[in-house]
Amino acid sequence: MPRISNVRLRFSLLYGTALVVTVALFSAGIYFFVQRMLIGQINSHLNKDLTTIASYLRHDPDGLQKLAKMGPVHHFRVRDGNRPLVISTEWEQSGLDLLLDGGNLAPNPRSVRTAEKRLYRIQSQLVPLGDHLYQVVVAHEESGYRRTLNTLALIILLILPVSIVLSLAVGYLIAGRVLAPITAITNKAKEISAENLAARLPVGDENNEFSQLALIFNQTFSRLEDSFERLRRFSSDASHELRTPLTAIRSIGETALQQQAVAPECRETIGSMLEETDRLVQTVESLLLLSRADSSALQKEPAEIGNLLADVVEFLSVLAEEKQQQILYERSTALTIPADPCMLRRAFLNLLDNAIKYSPEQSVIKVSLYRNADGATVAEVADSGPGIPNDDKERIFDRFYRLDNGRSREKGGTGLGLSIVKAAVEAHGGTVSLEDAPAGGSVFRAVFSFSDLPNTHS
């Protein structure tokens, strides 16, 4: 049997099965109890009739003829040895005589069916009197008792399917109620991520197993939040600590280069050292930016995304000109949001800088701001560079992830540019995505699916 993975369904099936088995056992019990009771009633009637006839045989043998015609015993036959003595009118009419002519009456009592398909319960008794041995047989029709039993069976057969449907429905409802706290916990837990560790699961008012579970999870989230916070502080503190000695190294190198007495070989060495120092300074600055975006300690003020993009396009147009590239900026909408302008500007700067860096000379880079079909505002940078292979698309926004280490380092990359884009856009409530451009190259998008701040143009 295939395993049902839905707990609610499994619970309702178990509950339904248990209830149906109980109802079935209960119904069968009632059926057999009523059957025994009704048979017991007929048997006691038969016993009474036998006693009446035996008493007639002993005290009033002539009265038997009257009894055979008028009752109250209706179906009976008395034989003296093998010779028929008295046969009641109803016995004759019922066809019982033909059926029981053989004389074998065992088991006693038992049920027989006549040629007319009528059911009778019969019981016999031997009555010895003087040197005679009388065989008395009495019968009672069973149809009334059969009708009662059949009606009972019909009621049970009608109740069973109704009880199956009802118990499944009730089981499903009960399971839903029982599992409701789990659904609430699951929904909340889905929302909790590394960026959202301050959120907690609903504990509820009652002190039960579910609230215990939620409490344990909440304690774990607290510890995780603590560890994440310490990690964030560590990278922020480490970057700060590195900044000062790096600046010192740079100024020492620069001072040394200005010295006339320095030999040309030494100049080259100091130059390379300064280049590496610059890269380290860039990495440290990027790490500081990242920890600032992560800590959500951004200083936000109303800023219009279109203007930020225009600034970035203007700022980097010099770099594009060097490669004879053309930047086309199309702006069909505007969105003002509470933003840390430096952080968001840095995100767009990284995107456009990458587009310029990785696109060939004399190519066109398209920057656009528009509303998509869902009504979200999209800031998009589309280049005609080599594109990102599908296998790398998932990880391209990870910290220090580079496609081609050597080439990227050559171009001055730290491998942190896109992770800053992601952290900055997400810190402003947006999402980032990457797609291949139809004509080759990549399209990076920052999507903000909320509306303008009140009282701003749109």
Binding site for ligand ADP (CB under 6 A): 350, 354-355, 358, 383, 385-386, 388, 396, 401-404, 408, 413-419, 442
CA distance 4 to 8: 10
Number of residue whose CB is nearest ligand ADP:
413
Pick between residue 123 and residue 239 the one whose CB is nearest to ligand ADP.
239
CA distance 378 to 366: 13
Q: Shortest approach of ligand ADP to residue 325 CB, angstroms?
A: 12
Q: Shortest approach of ligand ADP to residue 438 CB, angstroms?
A: 15
Q: Shortest approach of ligand ADP to residue 381 CB, angstroms?
A: 8
Q: Shortest approach of ligand ADP to residue 367 CB, angstroms?
A: 12
Pick between residue 67 and residue 416 the one whose CB is nearest to ligand ADP.
416
Pick between residue 67 and residue 351 the one whose CB is nearest to ligand ADP.
351
Pick between residue 341 and residue 415 the one whose CB is nearest to ligand ADP.
415
CA distance 68 to 90: 8
Q: Shortest approach of ligand ADP to residue 193 CB, angstroms?
A: 21
Q: Shortest approach of ligand ADP to residue 443 CB, angstroms?
A: 9
Pick between residue 341 and residue 386 the one whose CB is nearest to ligand ADP.
386
Pick between residue 23 and residue 416 the one whose CB is nearest to ligand ADP.
416
Strands 326-331 and 364-371, bridge-based pairing: parallel
CA distance 201 to 221: 9
Element spanning 392, H or E: helix 390-393
DSSP state of 369: E
Q: Are 57 and 127 in contact, with CB atoms under 8 Å apart?
A: yes
Is residue 202 reached through a cis peptide bond, with omega within 30 degrees of 0 on the bond before it?
no
Pick between residue 80 and residue 392 the one whose CB is nearest to ligand ADP.
392
Q: Shortest approach of ligand ADP to residue 251 CB, angstroms?
A: 25
Pick between residue 100 and residue 367 the one whose CB is nearest to ligand ADP.
367
Q: Shortest approach of ligand ADP to residue 190 CB, angstroms?
A: 28
Residue 334: CB partners within 8 Å, gap ≥ 6? 304, 305, 306, 369, 452, 457, 458
Pick between residue 91 and residue 444 the one whose CB is nearest to ligand ADP.
444
Looking up tokens 């790398």, which residue turns up? 392
Burial bucket for residue 172 (CB in 10 Å: 0-12, 13-18, 19+): middle
CA distance 399 to 390: 18
What the block records as the tokens of 413 is 């990359």
Looking up tokens 């055979």, which residue turns up? 68
CA distance 189 to 214: 10
Pick between residue 168 and residue 396 the one whose CB is nearest to ligand ADP.
396
Residue 5: CB partners within 8 Å, gap ≥ 6? none
What the block records as the tokens of 371 is 């509303």
- Single-letter amino acid code for the residue at 277: T
Pick between residue 204 and residue 386 the one whose CB is nearest to ligand ADP.
386
DSSP state of 429: T
Strands 132-141 and 119-129, bridge-based pairing: antiparallel
Task: Give the closest residue to 365 by CA, choosing from 439, 418, 451, 254.
Answer: 439
Q: Shortest approach of ligand ADP to residue 329 CB, angstroms?
A: 17
Q: Shortest approach of ligand ADP to residue 393 CB, angstroms?
A: 10
- Single-letter amino acid code for the residue at 18: A
Angle subtended by helix axes 143-191 and 7-59, to nearest 10? 170
Question: Cα 375 to the chain's mean position, in Å?
Answer: 30
CA distance 131 to 124: 19
Name the E strands within 238-307: 301-304
Q: Shortest approach of ligand ADP to residue 235 CB, angstroms?
A: 17
Q: Shortest approach of ligand ADP to residue 407 CB, angstroms?
A: 7
Pick between residue 84 and residue 360 the one whose CB is nearest to ligand ADP.
360
